[in-house]
Amino acid sequence: MASHEVLDPFVDWLTQSGFALEQEAGSPGFGDSLQVFGRGLLRIRLLSDRGQWFLELSSPLLGDNWFDADLWRAHHAGLEAPDNVSSLGDQVDYFRTHMTDIQIALGSTQGAEIADSLRGKREARARRRLGLAQ
């Protein structure tokens, strides 16, 4: 499935859900693109780097950190993040299904703990990918 077939309905859903486009940049010749949508404390970043798409979520409560759907899924399930990136469709489905849960969690008093968990899972995944000791 082409990325626009997955992302166009997701962008429509974001705007219908009250998210507004806050930032947009790109270099179409290289397949690079950036869109940031925001609503309240949530930010969704759609990033294409040489044609490979990434969906990441952040919040001012998380500092300057952006976390992908696999990290959020691992956090909610209490598991390690997978080494391989989920498909674009899986990433979109996860964020659409769990956006309210994420927003509620970030609005709780556990924001710092969530950020620590997500950063720890991201670092552990990076170390595994590089073949470094845990």
What pLDDT does residue 28 have? 66
Residue 29 included in any domain: yes
Which of the four pLDDT bands, split at 50, 70 and 90, describes residue 134?
low
Helices (H), ranges, the chain: 3-16, 69-77, 88-107, 111-130
pLDDT (tens digit per residue) in 84-100: 888 889 999 999 999 98
The pairing of beta strand 32-39 with beta strand 52-58: unpaired
Pairwise CA distance, residues 30 & 18, whole Å? 30
Distances (CA, A) of 131 to 12, 68, 118, 125: 40, 21, 20, 10
Please say if the pLDDT value at position 128 is more than 60.
Answer: yes
User: Domain count of the chain?
Assistant: 1
Read off the pTM.
0.86
Residue 132 included in any domain: no
Question: How many other CB atoms are there within 10 angstroms of residue 29's CB atom?
Answer: 6
Residue 81 included in any domain: no
Residue 113 included in any domain: yes
